[in-house]
Amino acid sequence: MTRSAAGYWIGFAVVLALLVVAPLVLPEFWRRFVTEILIWGLLAMSLDLLIGYTGMVSFGHSAFFGLGMYGAAAALLTVRPPNLWLAILYGLVGAGAVAVFVAYFSTRLRDIYFAITTLVFSQIFYVIIFTWTEVTGGENGLGFSQPAFAIPGVVSARFTPVTLHWFVLAVVTVSYLGLRRITQSPFGMVLQSIRENEPRTRAIGYHVERYKIVAVMLSGLFAGLAGVLYALQNKFAAPDFVFFLVSGEVVVFNVMGGMGTLVGPVAGAAFFFLLRELFSRFFTEYYLIPVGIIFTLMVIFVPQGLLGFLRRRLNQ
């Protein structure tokens, strides 16, 4: 047990060290690529808390991600001078408020009904954002300038691509450790028991609905954080990111990487984007044709995902 724990932390330190060094050695394109994978990986991890640990497939995570983006945009456009921490706060408040609303209604339903309800909720927010042009910029979205990285009295510096990568890495790492702690806590154990057998969990005396609501809210907050990071990196918020196809892609990351592992979804995001790069060379913008075929085959033949597959092979 202690030996495997030591192995885990050594592996964690090696991967972290590689990700810290990455922007210093990689060319511009791949540096950006790694930063984006980290952000999408955080979104995928947040969804894993629901899919992998609680057994609820959400098709509405684009709503939380998008509200994180628009929350950050609101802070950066209305408050002078633009403040990084306020952007994060606004984004989390935006995503959190939506998450409370969605969680309250959707957690009363199970399985596919939960999936369809979350999908429909995300479309409600998509329609609102898309049509409320005066506030959200409608189809064009909102553009803004990047805030400086500032800790009052200590440091104030503009982001360079390298420092932005480190900032994203720090946020994602802290979120990962937080999510890992959550899944290993007694609370996380209850979530996993809901996944394994919901009636029995209820019979033992746990208030299942309450746990589910909290799970959706936590998941929504981390998804919103990913949205804030994405907005910071790309300096815009657009309705396309609220559309349900984004939710679908995040589910794809989870299935490809391995649900219920937290690291798996990040690996899944990396795998997806690598496939996209690879196939874009041959299929240009139609890369989703081969990627979709690979995904469908994985659902049928490797339902435990890349990480689960590797784990099983290593254990043999």
Partner 1 sequence: MTIPFDLLLIQVINGIVTGMILALVASGLTLIFGIMDVVNFAHGELFMLGAYLGSTVFLTTGNFWLALGAAVMGIGLLGAVIQTTTLRPLLGRDPLTTILATFGLSLVLQNYALWQYGPVPRKINEPITGHFSLFYLEYPWYRLLVAVLSAAIIGGLWLFMKYGKYGIWIRATTQDRVMAAAMGIPVPLVHTVVFAIGAAMAAASGVLFGPLTGVNHAMGLDFILRAFIVVVVGGMGNLGGSILAAIFLSLLEAFASIWVSPAQAVIVSFVVLILTLLFRPTGLFVPTPK
**Dist CA 12 CA 32 (whole Å):** 22
- Nearest partner of 201 among 127, 292, 110, 285, judged by Cα: 110
Query: Should residue 42 be labelled a site residue for partner 1 when binding is judged by CB under 8 A?
Result: no
DSSP state of 146: P
The one among 30, 108, 161, 209 contacting partner 1 by CB under 8 A: 108
Min CB(180)–partner 1 separation in Å: 24
Name which position in 8, 30, 85, 113 contacts partner 1 (CB under 8 A): 113
37 binds partner 1 (CB under 8 A): no
Of the listed pieces 63-71, 91-99, 108-116, 213-221, which binds partner 1 according to CB under 8 A? 108-116
In this chain, which of 152, 289, 314, 316 binds partner 1, going by CB under 8 A?
A: 289
Helix-helix angle 2-25:28-48, to 10 degrees: 140
Stretch that binds partner 1, among 71-79, 119-127, 192-200, 206-214 (CB under 8 A): 119-127
Burial profile 152-189: b = 16 or more Cβ within 10 angstroms, e = fewer:
eeeeeeebeeeebbbbbbebbbebbeebbebbeeeebe
Closest CA to 250 of 224, 269, 225: 269
Confirm or reject binding of residue 174 to partner 1 (CB under 8 A).
Answer: no
Query: Taking CB under 8 A as the rule, does residue 248 contact partner 1?
Result: yes
Give the residue, chosen from 179, 242, 291, 306, that forms a contact with partner 1 under the rule CB under 8 A: 291
Burial 240-257 (b: 16+ CB within 10 A, else e): ebbbbebbebbbbbbbbb
Residues that bind partner 1 (CB under 8 A): 57, 105, 108-109, 111-113, 115-117, 119-121, 123-124, 127-128, 130-131, 244-245, 248, 251-252, 255, 283, 285-286, 288-289, 291-293, 295-296, 299-300, 303
